[in-house]
Chain A
């Protein structure tokens, strides 16, 4: 089975660790970034198979990262799951507007996360 790589972008270090543990169990290679800019750079450099992106990030926020990646033909095809503690309806729509493929609120069911991947 080809090793699948995912990139997790979230400023909650502990949460990222938890997600890493989960995905490593499922034989994924997990890349991490703790802020928007770092996430964007890693996404461009490493071209992961999936990106899990938090909304609230220091510096560049999740929307911007998502939009920048989606509007660029080179990275447009990488699926992005937006993950956030904000659960307003508007946020969901915004997420769709910037091209996120999925939108999940925290706390999430990790099974769902794995399933989508």
Chain B
């Protein structure tokens, strides 16, 4: 069957052909689909074939490129690079990437990443196949990055410049600060010198003055011998001038102190009419000679407000003294004090020569004298009113004068009624201000009698005062070496001192102990009524309001803390334990724990340490002594305060000894309730 064989061969052949065509179609579709440009270069450097991507990219038709030199589709300048590259591929067979630039038909340059490889068939080099990847996007990104990098560098340079400028400024600031410190120190030294000057001068001036005055008065009293009329007259003149000199020095000192801010108000609750009266009674004799009558118009009720009594007296003295000076014979001086809700209005009116309207303001200036009479008669220093004005204004009051020349003058000043809070606030603020300037710390202590009303009834009238006075004295004793200030009202003492937190804590502990010892004498309950608080600037707060708040808050806590103290009662008799509980409950304690014998007590103590242990000595199994012994051996328990109840007779005197020697106190059974309470309060 030759014919069948030939047809089969033909069919097989056709099938083979089809397969080959399919394969080829497949390969062609790959090549035409890839997006990178693919070129094949002949050994003579002409283009053998290019893929569709290349034609699309460069904008050529296939027939325009095939057979053309490959350098035509590249940038002219790159011809030699291209040549070298191909040569390298041919020589060394290397395959690597190179950056080149394709040229479109329009002449547009397209940067590409080109990689070429050798094509060989049957050992012969038939060409080079290369892939060119468009890297415009990447290039754009790269150049963008480069731009940004350059920008950053610019900015960084600017920042560095600014930094350097800042450092210069800071250096300058430092220098300025140092200068300021220097100036500050100089000012302080000057101020110190001034105040030293003032006090030294005052001392130096006053000493010879005193001697002169003494001898003048000795002569005038005719002790060394009788005087002629003339001699007496002349000695009077000398004596009068000595007094005048003394007054001048005092006034100068005053105004110097006020101006250098070294005068501080020491406010206390004072009755203004009282002060006025005291001045009038001292000054009256001076008016005697002129037959001047005094009238007073004071409110019926007491007028109490917070002011500095010495300063107010000084103002009254000055104004009333002036009134006497400028009023002639048989004149009248009226001192009136009016009580309004906001303030006390005090006026001194005279029937003297009066003041011209244009001078009404000027008289309060320094060294102003008006209506100066030639000849005898007390002359002023011209400083009195200026000083009075300063003193009144320190109290936040006003002072002015009204007058009808020839009819008389009226000098009026007001003293605002600040409440205690305001005064406290003002004082604390001043202290903080001072501390801020000197970079120091200020601490406030508050010692309060919380149950004040309760005690007011129990103690006699002024009894509360009796309690506070010795406490104040102890405070001043404890604080002796510090720069401090106390403000007291009827139920609390506030101490302001230049102390830091640690010192404040120590002082507080000392104050507590001392006050306990004081009140121990008076009343057991009394001690319980006290609470102690403190706060420090700048640690706890940086302004007066907050500092006070903190201090008061810590006061309250103290009280509550005390009431939370646990008392452990150890006694084998339950009735006795209950009795003790009742008694202590009435003192305000409510945290009790009990034990019926030594062992139980020790067990319970080991779980929680009580603040006080009340211990019966005689107990079955383990005695009180043993319990104490055990406690003392353990570091944790050796400091628990202990109160012993003993059946053995113990003299009362021993209790006082305890206070002095601080041994374990013993209370005899049957015991004195008051004593017991006192001791418990003391121990806690």
Contact = CB atoms under 8 A, between A and B. Distances in A.
Interface of A: 12, 14-15, 18-19, 21-22, 25, 56, 85-89, 97, 106-108, 110
Contacts of A18: 211, 214-215, 218
Contacts of B213: 107
A85 B206 contact: yes
Contacts of B203: 56, 85-86
Contacts of A19: 214
Interface string B244-265: 0010001001000000000000
Contacts of A25: 221, 223
B11 to A, nearest CB: 136
Contacts of A14: 211, 215
A51 B209 CA distance: 22
29 contacts: A12-B207, A15-B207, A15-B210, A15-B211, A18-B214, A18-B215, A21-B223, A25-B221, A56-B203, A85-B206, A85-B207, A85-B210, A86-B199, A86-B202, A86-B203, A87-B202, A87-B253, A88-B199, A97-B476, A97-B480, A106-B207, A106-B209, A106-B210, A107-B209, A107-B210, A107-B213, A107-B214, A108-B210, A110-B214
Contacts of B250: 87
B217 interface: yes
Contacts of A97: 476, 480
Interface in B307-363: 310
List the 5 shortest-distance A-B pairs measured between CB atoms, nearest first: A18-B214, A85-B206, A106-B210, A107-B210, A85-B203
B407 interface: no
B257 to A, nearest CB: 8
B226 interface: no
Contacts of B206: 85, 106-107
B266 interface: yes
A107 B246 contact: yes
Interface of B: 199, 202-203, 206-207, 209-211, 213-215, 217-218, 221, 223, 242, 246, 250, 253, 266, 310, 476, 480
Nearest to A11: B207
A22 B219 CA distance: 11
Given A87-B253, A89-B266, 18 more contacts: A15-B207, A15-B210, A15-B211, A15-B214, A18-B211, A19-B214, A21-B218, A21-B223, A85-B203, A85-B206, A85-B207, A87-B202, A89-B310, A97-B476, A106-B207, A107-B209, A107-B214, A107-B246
A15 B246 CA distance: 16
A25 B220 CA distance: 14
Q: Classify the secondary structure of B's interface with A.
A: helix
Given A18-B211, A89-B266, A97-B476, A110 B202 contact: no
A97 B218 CA distance: 33
B191 to A, nearest CB: 15
A22 B215 CA distance: 9
A19 B310 CA distance: 29
A107 B248 CA distance: 13
Contacts of A86: 199, 202-203
Most buried by A among B210, B218, B223, B476: B210
A10 to B, nearest CB: 10
A21 B480 CA distance: 39
A21 B242 CA distance: 20
A25 B211 CA distance: 17
A56 B202 CA distance: 13
A92 B207 CA distance: 18
Nearest to A83: B210
A53 B669 CA distance: 56
Nearest to B204: A85
Nearest to A13: B211
A22 B214 contact: yes
Nearest to A88: B199
A85 B202 contact: yes
Nearest to B476: A97
Contacts of B476: 97
A100 to B, nearest CB: 15
Nearest to B310: A89
Contacts of B480: 97
Contacts of A88: 199
Contacts of B218: 18, 21-22
B486 to A, nearest CB: 11
Contacts of B242: 107
A106 B217 CA distance: 14
A21 to B, nearest CB: 5
Nearest to B266: A89
A21 B221 CA distance: 11
A110 B199 CA distance: 23
A83 to B, nearest CB: 9
A27 to B, nearest CB: 13
Contacts of B207: 12, 15, 85, 106
Contacts of B253: 87
A97 B473 CA distance: 9
A6 B289 CA distance: 36
Contacts of A15: 207, 210-211, 214
Contacts of B310: 89
B436 to A, nearest CB: 23
B199 A12 contact: no
Contacts of A87: 202, 250, 253
Contacts of A56: 203
A16 to B, nearest CB: 9
A103 B438 CA distance: 33
Nearest to A22: B218
A19 B476 CA distance: 34
A18 B218 CA distance: 8
B473 to A, nearest CB: 9
A110 to B, nearest CB: 6
Nearest to A14: B211
B337 to A, nearest CB: 26
Nearest to B205: A85
A88 B203 CA distance: 11
Most buried by B among A18, A25, A56: A18
Nearest to A54: B207
A19 B218 CA distance: 9
A61 to B, nearest CB: 13
A25 B214 CA distance: 14
Nearest to A106: B210
Most buried by A among B218, B246, B250, B310: B218
A110 B217 contact: yes
Nearest to B262: A88
A58 to B, nearest CB: 14
A20 B631 CA distance: 69
B680 to A, nearest CB: 35
B278 to A, nearest CB: 16
